[in-house]
Structure 1
């Protein structure tokens, strides 16, 4: 009996030892999460980065490895990505497969370590426009400050030599700034008049690269990660679509369509294509922001209330006053706040720069819609234009040809004076010689009760102007 008990105890101890050994071996297997930036950095890259970091945190990854090859992109999204990296609780490393230029350099410098393929490059972070032309100094100043702060975030290393202790920047902020500013001179590194770009070996020599590698496996080996489970981010179709819909350029276009569609709908009878286009643009604008939790119900309500006030100003309230101004203000606020992750009117977590950026996108869209309205009204819909000839009735139905649908006596009203019986926006009714006629204002709106004069009669329609006679 004692023998059986001894054997049982031995088996239990052996099982515990084996289980402990398995647990130790499992702990040595690192969870590695990788994702790529192989395109221009923009809204889609930012969406993918957020999704990737969320998945990495959910699976308790030990390491995030960014696989990069980009010529740059939009600074605002690069800044968001670099901030995400700097604030990450999981170590983030980057493997530069070929290029990390401009915005890509900023993101790479934010990572805990940088590894580069032989022949790769990092640098050239000057801010340029869509045509490749250098932007004014206020943009360069912001980029200089951002890339310098990113390098400083890695702190200093302690160096002991000949009994003396010194502290050396792990990523020299002055060198990082030289990637933006061509006026910086650093002996043995860069002359004035040139923007700094490092090759792989130059980056290693100057502390902007931890090592050279040909692939991700070699990077992990240099990170002393030999046993690992690798998970790679796979963007969904919706991620790409959401990134496309939330790009600043498209958001500006959607705002243009919303406002332009509403304007042309107000100028035409019935419900037609302009309103349908405006409604579709509004859905495409708010839907991805609402799903992501940026656009709250109250922000969408602000936008809708603004539209209602504008409609009341146009159709009900004479003149253009408090309702119109309030409506435009609420529309702008609704569109702007929907882009921001704010708590009601608390913008402290968002930051002033993000607020200005969102407001700039909205105002740019509104300004663009104003220009489009002027152009379409004066050019495209003109009856003597190619498009106007197709969509407008341009044939004159002369009396000599047998057309007698309009009273000839109305021609005699040209030059007559009267008063606006309703507000002309631009069409409405006027009273001339105690008779009511349909009329169209030659330009702008004419308020009810304003003295008018018939300027011309064309195609069965009276046209009037404000009378200057006393």
Structure 2
């Protein structure tokens, strides 16, 4: 009996240690192969790092995570907004999929900030990075002022060091990027431990990182890139629209025109154009950081209200209806793409719906624009008068001197008088038009 118990105990111990050993081996050897690549570009004409670019980047990262793809972001930028840079940097820092930052030509200021947390940083030969000292731009004069206050610099430095610490980059040099606007080229960046690779072009990058092991959130990934699976992410209409509106010049122009036009519309009593002027003012506010989602909802509601008034209340189709179509189109262009799954339609559905609405709005706007243009031309056209003086016709009813008869001139019947006795069928010539539209005629001589 004791022997049997001993054997059972030994078997249990062996099974326990075997299970632990297998689990340890699996945890140590958990390797996932990544063979798909999603590329997102931060390059001209949308090279300024703003809220639109940040939204496009997070959309691309979300898609890369959902498809198990490597995200490569190609950067060729002078920088941009600090908040947008933090949004992109945080997204990379907490990414659930491997990321590679590839710098083409330059990545300065905020563009340097966003490449630091990537698993691999590759620089094209002769490219430059750095110059991260923050600046303040006066929107009225365009004057640039460098910021040196510790209260501003220290949080940026700490954030940059946090990003750099993820992959063990040279934090001391990165601090000099912020404090002294230091700029270095690709060779120096690799030699001093800020970047990982210096490559000739994008194809060289793909070859260089092939077979590389990357650890993300405790999971080891091996990059086994299939060139045929490399595809470029297309940013949404909304994100590109936000980038355009985020341009300080565009934002100032829209806000100024919208404000002045609103004042003039109120003073002149042209309330029918007031929704359009308010729409311009709201679009200008997007560039100042106002929520694009709230503006989108307001434009859609206002546009739907105006279109309903035009269709069901106001007779005809005019400025109110056109304003409704324009505001609806702008509102749908700013509509968010990604919404909670299971609560609202999918992002792909919203994208297709947005394109459909924009297409219909453009077509309807074009048709009604042509109609209104034609109506305006007709109203402005001078009336065409038919003057039969000098025209020839024939007598329909006998015309005697001092008595009125009827003649036909180019298919129209006219009352006529004459100093001659004219019989039906005779040809006559109109001499003049008398009072009351009566024609004075005479016999046509051959």
TM bucket normalised to smaller = 0.3 to 0.5
State the TM-score, normalized to the length of structure 2. Answer: 0.48
TM-score calculated relative to the size of structure 1: 0.46
Rg bigger for which structure?
2
